[in-house]
Each structure stands twice: as structure tokens, then as C-alpha cells.
Amino acid sequence: MPGIPLEVQKIFNEIFQASQDGDIVDIATPYTFTGTPTATRNLNVSAPTAANIAAVLATLLQDLQKGGTTRTT
């Protein structure tokens, strides 16, 4: 990168390499579920319950395993 100090280039290179380390699907794949979680993307922060938090977490992990909320597999 011409005109950019070497220290800054090293930082950009480190960020680039870190982004190549793992795919979000690969990170989420090892997680498994017992039972069938109820899909929800609504976290009740004013009166949270363990069931609500577990459902949101399960939904997030399932979304990550699919590669996003709009993908089916």
C-alpha cells in the first residue's frame, strides 16, 4: 500500500488475516441442541426469563449455523 506507513499496513494485514481465520458457520456448527427450541429474536430485557434467554440464544445459534436469518440450510 504505497504512501501508508508500515505500522498501519501491519494493522490492516492483521485485521485481514483475522477475518480469514474462521467462518461464522464453522464457529456455530459444533453447538447442538436438546429438545426443539422455540425460535424467537425478541429478548425481553425488562423482565427476562431463563426460557426467553435460552430461546433467543438457540435462535441466534441456529441462524449462525445457517449462515444468516434468511437462509434455510
| Residue 52 near residue 43, CB atoms below 8 Å | yes
CA 73-21-1 angle, to 5 degrees, is 120
* pTM confidence score: 0.62
Residue 59: what pLDDT? 92
Residue 6: what pLDDT? 84
Residue 61, C-alpha cell as written in the block: 445459534
Task: Kindly state the DSSP code that residue 72 receives in the 8-state scheme.
Answer: -
Taking only the tens place, the pLDDT of each residue in 1-59 is 677 778 887 877 877 776 666 677 777 888 888 888 889 999 998 988 888 999 999 99
Residues 6+ positions from 38 with CB-CB distance below 8 Å: 55
Residue-wise burial string across 29-45, b where 16 or more C-beta atoms lie within 10 A, e elsewhere: eeeeeeeebeeeeeeee
Each domain of the chain, given as residue ranges in start order, spans 6-66
